[in-house]
Structures are given as C-alpha cells and as structure tokens.
Amino acid sequence: MEEKKLAVIALGGNAILRGNQKGTVEEQNQNIRETLENLIYLVREGYNLIITHGNGPQVGNILMSDDAGVKMYGLPPMTLDMCVAYSQGEIGYMIERNLRNILREHGLTRHVVSMISQVVVDEHDPALQNPTKRVGRIYTREEADKLAAEHGWIFKEEIKVEGGWRRVVPSPAPIDFKNAALVERMARSGSIVITGGGGGIPVYVDGEGMLQPLEGVIDKDLASAMIGARVKADELYILTDVPYIYKDFRKPTQEVLEFLDYADAMKYLEAGTFGEGSMAPKIRACLSFVEKGGQKAVITEATKLEDRRYGSKITMHYD
C-alpha cells in the first residue's frame, strides 16, 4: 500500500489574528475556524499533517500584560521564553479544539494533539545581537518612543502600515527540535500534530549538555522548514495573505511567480526581489526545506489551498 504523504502546514499570523482586529478570543477562534476549514481537503485526500503557527501578536500582548502586572501589582516579570511557551499553549488549544469540532462536522476521525515544543538554537548566533523579529501590536512613533524610553525596548518601522512601529526582539536560527522522532511517529500514524508554535521555545545546549532558555522569538517559517526536514515531510505549505509569490510586488511591473526551482528562487532572493520583512524569510524557508529533501514547498493564501490553480510552488528542480 502506498505510504501517505506527510505535509507541514505553517499557519501565518493572519490565520489567527487579523490586522484590523482587537484580538478577542471570539475573533481568534473565528479566524482559526475559517483557516482550518481549508485543510479538510488534505485530510480527505489522506495526507498526514503537522500544523505549525505564528505567535507575533499574541506574544507581544503577553509581554505587555506582563509589564502591566509588574507595574501595578509587583508581580515578578516573565522571561521571553516563558511568554512564547504561554502563547504556544493558548494558540495550540484553540487550534486543537476547533479542528476537533471541524473534523466531527465533516464526519472525519483523526486524533489531534498539541505539543509544547522546544527548538534548539546556537547561543552564539549573531542574530541575538541584532533584533529583527516583530512582536506585539502596532504603535505610533510617539507611543513607540515612549515605550522605548520606559523599557529599553527596540522598535522598527512597520512594513505594511505606514507610520506604524512595532517592537523587535532577537530571532536566532532554528537548528533542531525536541521530540522530533515522537512527532514523526504520531503524524505518520494518522494523528494531526500541532507543534513548533511561534517558531518554538528557543533553548540552547550548555557545556554540560543541559537545555537552557534563551531570550528570543524564532521565525515560524524557518522553524517549520526545519521541522519538515527533521520528520522527512514530503511537502511544506506556508499559508499567508497572498495567493502567490510575486516579482516586484505592488509595482506596475508586478508578475506572478507560480513555478520556481531552487536556482531561480535563489537568484531572485539574492537580487533583493522579495521584501525582507515579508516574503524573503518565507522563500528562505522553502529553499531550506527542498534543499534538505522536501519534494515541494508551496506559498499561498489559506482560502486558495484547495484550488490547484493558486499557490507558488518551489521544488529543487523543474519536473
């Protein structure tokens, strides 16, 4: 009997919290339901699935709530790795519960499990000295300056919102993740596994072989590609807010790039064709995945997933 394909599905931030929303529990659950509905066709086609997700808005909000608790009630502050773990738990719970309900509504039976995941990074990664990962809500320049002065936080201008600023934190590269063999075994047995949330909790291995926490937020797409490679997944799907990869995005010369091999994608990447704060990290993740043995990486919008006419496909070589 032919072995079922294993796919890693990376849910973008838009799948959980939209830019114009407050982030209520009701809003997040509705967004998650709408996104997960688009995965049902993969279940019907017999795919085994691993689901990863972002946490940028959520972990930023947790940090703000934590700061308020410190100021108002004298509570001990939470470290960034604890905030990432916190966000993994709450988002994993929302995805698992909604997915269980959706599967039941469609008459499908699959086990669904959420796993708090620790992702190993290099404690000497240069990225730790150059914060780039955007977290939390968007502020005005005045609000950002005030928070920077109060907390020593670092802000950078937001790409998608003119005049907006967001906090940035270190984003080390993922090397490995714990429980890889267990995750692969569960996924290949038919369980849908939710793991690598928010890129995973960053940890490093000290000189005595012990795991130690590290302050940072790992890029979700790079972590998803690493997870896919470690479990020998066949396909990687990065769900975002556009149906394709575009050359010269939002310019008069805009062009859809539907099929790319490794060499062409790398050529465009090195030429600066893709935005560093948006599409470029996703392209790097896809290239990493196919370079390490993945058959295909796809970047598309969640609502277009079932329609094969949409989505940009990256493979090592053209068929």
- pLDDT (tens digit, 9 = 90+) per residue, 93-150? 999 999 999 999 999 999 999 999 999 999 999 999 999 888 877 889 999 999 899 8
Q: What is the location of CATH 3.40.1160.10 in the chain?
A: 4-122+175-313
From 61, 92, 98, 133, the catalytic residue: 133
Average pLDDT of the residues in 289-317: 93
The answer to whether 69 touches 83, Cβ cutoff 8 Å, is no
Question: Where do the DSSP E strands lie in 218-257?
Answer: 235-240, 245-247, 255-257
Q: What is the pLDDT of residues 151-185, one digit of tens each?
A: 888 999 987 778 899 889 899 999 999 999 999 99
Q: For CA atoms 88, 82, 18, 274, give the dihedral sign.
A: negative
pLDDT band at 23 (very low <50, low <70, confident <90, very high): confident
- Per-residue b or e along 214-253, where b marks 16 or more CB atoms closer than 10 Å to that residue's CB: bebbbbbbbbbbbbbbbbebbbbbbbbebbbbbeebeeee
Question: By the 8 A CB rule, do 198 and 53 touch?
Answer: yes
Is the pLDDT at 1 greater than 70? The verdict is: no
* Dist. CA 151–CA 70, nearest whole Å: 12
Here the tokens at position 203 are 């940890």
- CATH among 2.40.50.140, 3.40.1160.10, 3.30.70.890, 3.40.50.2020 for 4-122+175-313: 3.40.1160.10
Q: How confident is the model at residue 59 (pLDDT cuts 50, 70, 90)?
A: confident
Active-site choice (38, 98, 178, 220) = 220
State residue 309's pLDDT score.
84
Number of other CB atoms surrounding residue 9 within 10 Å: 29
Does residue 309 sit in helix, strand or coil? coil
Is 90 exceeded by the pLDDT of residue 13? no
Q: Name the active-site residue from 282, 294, 296, 313.
A: 282
Q: What is the pLDDT of residue 58?
A: 85
Structure-token pair, residue 88: 């993994």
Could you say which of 4, 5, 14, 69 is catalytic? 14
Active site residue 282: yes
Percentage of the chain lying above the pLDDT 90 cut? 72
178 catalytically annotated: no
Q: Which of 13, 92, 228, 294 is catalytic?
A: 13
Mean pLDDT of the chain: 92
Rounded to 5°, the CA angle 279-282-287 comes to 125
Residue 293 CB neighbour total at 10 angstroms: 12
Q: What is the pLDDT of residue 113?
A: 98
In the residue annotation, 133 being an active-site residue is answered as: yes
Look at residue 2 in the predicted model and tell me its pLDDT: 62
In this predicted structure, the answer to whether residue 217 has a pLDDT above a threshold of 80 is yes
pTM of the model: 0.92
156 in catalytic set: no
